[in-house]
Amino acid sequence: MIYSTILVLLSCLAVYSRHYYGHYNTRAPYRRYIYSARSYYYTRNPHTIWRIPNYNTRSTRRSRGQWGDWGSWSRCDVPCGGGVQTRDRTCLGEGSSECYGRTEAKRRCNMVCCPVNGNWGLWSHWTTRRSHDYSYVLQRTRECNYPEPRCNGQLCYGEKVQTQDYERRFRSRTHLNQDDDK
């Protein structure tokens, strides 16, 4: 009875005192070792002790590695549109495999949108409209939307509207059709 009470007290002491509680870096990172002055206990949770202390051994508390300084941030992997930068640090000391935390840090960079130059879409069909002198003209339009300029991209260059004299176009078609018949 006294022995089990001591084990429970030691496990509580190990859980609530960071001085006696640590992780041991193995293949299964969930494993924890609770250290005492003379031995250690292997446990999966703070209330269940899986290994009985061995009082014939020296203290098995291992020295914990220390992190070195973070390196500088890498260059952003893209000039715009959201990229990633990374930086590293190394674990120093005898227990260099026992540093806790990450060796690499990441952050987003160049979140500004990329400039997109505008380009003309397709011409519309020719439509007839009456001009100011009551003559007919043909007209077609196009939009700068293939794609639209964004983020300080260049505008489309060239004509947005084309007009043509209806009489001239009609005569040229008729003339061409007559030439085809000959």
Q: pLDDT tens across 141-160, in order? A: 999 999 999 999 999 999 99
Query: How confident is the model over 33-43, as pLDDT tens digits?
Result: 444 444 444 44
Indicate if the pLDDT at residue 15 is higher than 50: no
Task: Give pTM, 2 decimals.
Answer: 0.43
The C-alpha atoms of residue 158 and residue 143 are separated, in whole angstroms, by 11
Identify the structural domains of the chain with CATH numbers, from first to last: 2-49 (no CATH), 66-109 (2.20.100.10), 127-181 (no CATH)
Burial of 57 from C-beta contacts in 10 A (0-12 / 13-18 / 19+): exposed
The C-alpha atoms of residue 35 and residue 62 are separated, in whole angstroms, by 9
Task: Give the pLDDT band of residue 20 (cuts 50, 70, 90).
Answer: very low
Task: Give the pLDDT band of residue 87 (cuts 50, 70, 90).
Answer: very high
